[in-house]
Amino acid sequence: ETFGDRSLSQGLSVLVGLGLCVTMLGLGCAVELGQLGQQLRRPVGLLLALLGQFVAMPLLAFLLALIFALDEVAAVAVLLCGCCPGGNLSNLMSVLVDGDMNLSIIMTASSTLLALFLMPLCLWIYSRYWINTAVVQLLPLGAVSLTLGSTLLPIGLGVLIRYRHPRAADLLVKISLWSLLVTLVILFILTGTMLGPDLLAQIPASVYAIAVLMPLAGYALGYGLATVFKMPPHCRRTVSLETGCQNVQLCTAILKLTFSPELIGSMYMFPLLYALFQSAEAGLFVLAYKMYGRDSYQQDTLGEQEDTDISYKKLKEEEVADTSYGTVTTEEHNSIQMEPTQTAL
């Protein structure tokens, strides 16, 4: 009854909507048109976003729902989170692990745009297993597409701000990252205290297990995908984080704005649980890299610089040797003698 309270439900809807708009605005501000053009000419980031977010993660969510024998409501919440595009958390984490920031931003932006068409398609495909249930028959794919389409406006506005006012765009990117953390904390507080601990108790243990395993498996799948493409280590870390980090704000907004509270019930909490565990596991990823991986990264970078210096010195020596076909010596004022020297090959 508390969960279905109209005033509380409207307040949460406004908070979720505002948080999503600010996040999408920050994502647009992080995109530069020049970098976007370069990525489109070599669409590796686009391809990885497609494979990671709309092939690997939806299939992973579907398999976990089957393995843990979830009911239809919990399965829809898990599928919805698995079909979401990448989130802004991955951009912040990529910086902390010395990843490829341009690749991270392009993957997040492209997966958000691809979600407009592929997210409803993935939901329709993987929800067929539960098609005879009421929640799937009432699955509002049109409302999902409308919510996704509404994110294009703040993204486009952010791209325009980046093009015309780069300094303001940098500030908005920072604001969006902080708003992500603040929004999630407020949602946890509201749902945990105002709605009561009974709501958390209603969530099955299997859903908690999926919230732990799903981002962890996503990080592993992303790293393996980048390894298949033979990408360098810093790009592998980036793709790993991009694959495992989902846009939980978008998932929360869709659950809150398209399903009635009586229908979705406690599963409204799943994206928040996913956000909690994906942040904790990404934090452990960063901590492990800072403790064990950063030294090797610095040594690799130093080794590349030394190799470049040695190659440059050898090149200069070869240039000098190639031009010395003979040396000129003067024995007297009026005599000049050419002494042949051996040319270095």
**Which residue type sits at 245?**
C
Task: Look at residue 231 and tell me if it is in a domain.
Answer: yes
Residue 325 per-residue DSSP state: S
CATH number of the domain where residue 112 is located: 1.20.1530.20
Task: Look at residue 239 and tell me if it is in a domain.
Answer: yes
Cα-flanking dihedrals φ and ψ of residue 131, to 5°?
Answer: -65, -25
Domain that holds residue 219: 44-140+192-291
Higher pLDDT, 131 or 334: 131
Residue 300 has a pLDDT of 52
Task: Look at residue 19 and tell me if it is in a domain.
Answer: no
Task: Look at residue 68 and tell me if it is in a domain.
Answer: yes
Residue 193 has a pLDDT of 63
Task: Look at residue 221 and tell me if it is in a domain.
Answer: yes
Task: Look at residue 198 and tell me if it is in a domain.
Answer: yes
Rg (CA), the chain: 27
> Position of tokens 């969006």?
176
Which of 250, 227, 247 is CA-nearest to residue 108?
A: 247
Task: Provide the whole-model pTM.
Answer: 0.75
Residue 199 has a pLDDT of 66
Say if CB 256 and CB 247 are below 8 A apart.
no
75-93 confidence digits (pLDDT tens)? 989 999 999 998 878 887 8
247-278 confidence digits (pLDDT tens)? 888 888 888 777 777 777 777 778 888 988 88
Separation of alpha carbons 176 and 75, rounded Å: 30
Higher pLDDT, 298 or 115: 115
156-190 confidence digits (pLDDT tens)? 888 888 888 888 888 888 888 777 777 777 777 76
β-sheet bridge partners, residue 337:
329
SS (H, E, C) 80-111: HHHCCCECCHHHHHHHHCCCCHHHHHHHHHHH
| Angle made by CA atoms 76, 107, 127, in degrees to the nearest 5 | 15
Helical packing angle, 72-82 and 57-67, nearest 10°: 160
- Taking residue 255's Cβ as centre, other Cβ atoms within 10 Å add up to 22
What 184-188 contacts at long range (C-beta under 8 Å, 24+ apart), as own/partner pairs, is 184/248, 184/272, 184/275, 184/276, 186/15, 187/12, 187/15, 187/16, 187/252, 187/272, 188/272, 188/276
Of the pLDDT bands very low, low, confident and very high (cuts 50, 70, 90), residue 343 is very low
Distance, first Cα to last Cα, the chain: 87
Separation of alpha carbons 134 and 215, rounded Å: 28
Task: Look at residue 29 and tell me if it is in a domain.
Answer: no
Give percent of the chain above pLDDT 90.
20
Higher pLDDT, 211 or 27: 211
Number of domains in the chain: 1
Separation of alpha carbons 329 and 9, rounded Å: 96
For the cut 50, the answer to whether the pLDDT of residue 118 exceeds it is yes
Task: Look at residue 79 and tell me if it is in a domain.
Answer: yes
Residue 294 has a pLDDT of 66
